Amino acid sequence: MAVATELAQTIIDPKAYSLRDPVDQAFRTIRAETPLDVASLEGFEPFWVVSRHADIKEIERQPDIFHNGDKSTFLTNIEGNQRVQMLTGGEPNLIRSLVSVDGLEHKNLRGIVFPHITPRAIRPLEDQIRAIANEFVDYMLSFDGECDFAADVAFLYPLRVIMTVLGVPQEDEAFMLKLTQELFNNADPELNRARAELTPEEMLKSLWETTMELENYFAAVTRKFRDNPTTHINSLIANAKIDGEYLNHRQMMGYYIIAATAGHDTTSNTTAGAMWAMAERPGMLKQMQDNPDLINAFVEESIRWEVPVKHFMRSAVSDCVVGGQQIKAGDWLMLSYQSANRDESVWADPFEYRIDRKDNPQIAFGYGVHVCLGQHLARMEMRILWEELFKRLKSVEMNGQGERTISNFVCGPKHVPIRFKAN
């Protein structure tokens, strides 16, 4: 068997993700008929589509067999892969970040920031983050009953939080937001660098230009924090040494870039998606206000629901069997977090947005040694925003149609028009 071509085309189509339903329906069929099978599409190296929660966990549990860094970590066609290798001198990823390295290199790099971003390490940030949340709640309420919650609040609040933690000054936030959107939303003419429909060749060119612009910016950051070290994450990256040596150029740039981009876009998508879900469900706001202890379940469900990172790729180093299928050394696999978070064998009602789930083993942060480094910060900042906003909001409903970004990688709502009343 193989994944039906029509289904395979849908699950890689950026426009289908912007509508969401076609992708959810395609994966529903894939989970039922070909849950772990090969997709063969013109212009692409064949790849396994891993659609079930349990199979993704099994693969991510074996990082010595399934590598991140041997091939592209997100789905790219053959031509794109060749061009990236030309630009990087043979590496399969434009950016050498934590998600595109393996083994000891990954362990060493992850160890630089990990101790500073555990639940215990970030607890002292709670008051500072609450003050930022209140600033954005005030800002939202200043809109006098109507706003685009995605653009006016959800894009900006996680941006301020992560930039504060990284040590990026507020005047650079707009620049960071723009470059992050260019990096993740290349297929979306509203948000990409050219503000136009791009050919695959133009997309790669613009990705390269954005990466270079980010690298120029971060070169100055390294100088600044080497001269004056602080406890900010960017300072940890600038001053870290492995075996007595500073990180090399690609490692350092990759680290700055992943922290500064993955550190807010994902959380923004989840926050915007949670508001969209709530604004469409009369009574949910009141339910949250009457049951404040549901807040963690609300956050967890919003992450499962939105799944801001749609997939990551792995490649097999040796032959092995997963989900009853024989995988061969060199095979490329797409781990679909979108699909795994709708897996009927894990949730009886995966297409319902339910804030009273007792057990919610969502896998939107991934799993295993590469599990999201910022997961605790993301959860904490979302919890705090909702705690503060729910105190101040009397009602909320949609005020027109929401819109999602055109992308098959990191994406979510880009417009969530709401009408609200404040207390």
Q: How far is the CB of 99 from ligand HEM (least distance, A)?
A: 4
Residue 184 found at the interface with ligand HEM (CB under 6 A): no
Contacts (CB under 6 A) with ligand HEM, residues 211-240: none
Q: How far is the CB of 409 from ligand HEM (least distance, A)?
A: 11
Strands of 281-330, DSSP E:
311-316, 320-322, 325-327
Q: How far is the CB of 270 from ligand HEM (least distance, A)?
A: 4
Residue keyed to tokens 């609200």 = 420
Name which position in 374, 402, 413, 417 contacts ligand HEM (CB under 6 A): 374
Closest CA to 8 of 34, 21, 20, 32: 34
- Between residues 102 and 188, which has the closer beta carbon with respect to ligand HEM? 102
Q: How far is the CB of 238 from ligand HEM (least distance, A)?
A: 16
- Between residues 95 and 198, which has the closer beta carbon with respect to ligand HEM? 95
Contacts (CB under 6 A) with ligand HEM, residues 56-75: 60
- Between residues 323 and 368, which has the closer beta carbon with respect to ligand HEM? 368
Residue 16 found at the interface with ligand HEM (CB under 6 A): no
- In angstroms, the Cα distances linking 60 to 53, 137, 324, 326, 329 are 11, 38, 16, 17, 16
Residue 372 found at the interface with ligand HEM (CB under 6 A): yes
Contacts (CB under 6 A) with ligand HEM, residues 98-137: 98-99, 110
**Residue 365, phi then psi, degrees to nearest 5:** -90, 5
- In angstroms, the Cα distances linking 212 to 158, 253, 259, 414 are 24, 10, 16, 25
Contacts (CB under 6 A) with ligand HEM, residues 32-61: 60
Name which position in 367, 386, 409, 420 contacts ligand HEM (CB under 6 A): 367
Q: How far is the CB of 160 from ligand HEM (least distance, A)?
A: 12
Task: Identify the bridge partners of residue 398 per DSSP, sorted by sequence position.
Answer: 418
CA distance 7 to 87: 32
Q: How far is the CB of 1 from ligand HEM (least distance, A)?
A: 27
Q: How far is the CB of 5 from ligand HEM (least distance, A)?
A: 27
- Between residues 198 and 380, which has the closer beta carbon with respect to ligand HEM? 380
Residue 247 found at the interface with ligand HEM (CB under 6 A): no
Q: How far is the CB of 74 from ligand HEM (least distance, A)?
A: 11
Residue 365 found at the interface with ligand HEM (CB under 6 A): yes
- In angstroms, the Cα distances linking 123 to 230, 367, 376 are 18, 23, 10
Strands of 68-111, DSSP E:
none
CA distance 256 to 220: 12
* Gap between the terminal Cα atoms of the chain: 57
Name which position in 263, 402, 412, 417 contacts ligand HEM (CB under 6 A): 263
Q: How far is the CB of 177 from ligand HEM (least distance, A)?
A: 14
Q: How far is the CB of 186 from ligand HEM (least distance, A)?
A: 19
Residue 270 found at the interface with ligand HEM (CB under 6 A): yes
From the list 28-36, 119-127, 131-139, 301-309, the region that binds ligand HEM by CB under 6 A is: 301-309
Task: Identify the bridge partners of residue 36 per DSSP, sorted by sequence position.
Answer: 50
From the list 82-90, 218-226, 259-267, 388-396, the region that binds ligand HEM by CB under 6 A is: 259-267
Strands of 184-275, DSSP E:
241-242, 245-246
Residues with Cβ within 8 Å of residue 45, at least 6 apart in sequence: 78, 81, 332
From the list 122-130, 135-143, 223-231, 373-381, the region that binds ligand HEM by CB under 6 A is: 373-381
Closest CA to 160 of 186, 134, 185, 124: 134
- Between residues 24 and 397, which has the closer beta carbon with respect to ligand HEM? 24
| 329, burial (CB in 10 Å: exposed 0-12, middle 13-18, buried 19+) | exposed
CA distance 85 to 89: 6
Residues that bind ligand HEM (rule: CB under 6 A) add up to a total of 29
Q: How far is the CB of 144 from ligand HEM (least distance, A)?
A: 29
Q: Long-range pairs for 316-323 at CB < 8 Å and ≥24 separation? A: 316/65, 316/66, 316/67, 317/64, 317/65, 317/66, 317/67, 317/70, 318/65, 320/62, 320/65, 322/36, 322/50, 322/55, 322/58, 322/59, 323/35, 323/36, 323/50, 323/52, 323/54, 323/55, 323/58
Chain residues that interact with ligand HEM, rule: CB under 6 A: 60, 98-99, 110, 162, 258-259, 262-263, 266-267, 270, 303, 308-309, 312, 337, 364-368, 370-374, 377-378
